[in-house]
Structure 1
Amino acid sequence: MSDYTANGDLHQVKRVNKTEFVIYFALIFSLALLPHVMGWLLQTVRHAKFPRLGPMQRALKDAEAITPMIFRG
């Protein structure tokens, strides 16, 4: 049986407000959308074929990667 009282000073994880997370996510997504649209158009014209990911998917991927980094402490 383990004795958990020996390490009573463990770091507690603080939960982030979901509303704040959604606000940051939406802000990052909206700021990333225009550069990805421009890059997607440029890449489509240059290579004469559609890229694998569309601009919305790329912006979503960026927002999913960046937003959790903000709340890590």
Structure 2
Amino acid sequence: MIARVEIPFSRSGKVESRPDERVVTVQPGNSLWRISRAIYGEGARYAVIFDRNQDQIRNPDLIYPGQIFVLPKDN
């Protein structure tokens, strides 16, 4: 039998962002697509969020409630 266990992240204290960025805390039911659609108006721009937060996201299909992502402002 093979089993896999993933343990959600632990919050680090302070989230660093620049003035041209904002932060969002993942809520239950969120996905990168949904966050992107709400912030940028297009779900397909989820890659912008993924690229900026690669240190926290191993798999863009697996994000966890409580994670804090930095979102570059729309250009």
- TM bucket (normalised to shorter chain) is under 0.3
Normalised TM-score (structure 1): 0.20
The structure whose residues are more often strand, as a share, is 2
Q: Which has the larger radius of gyration?
A: 1
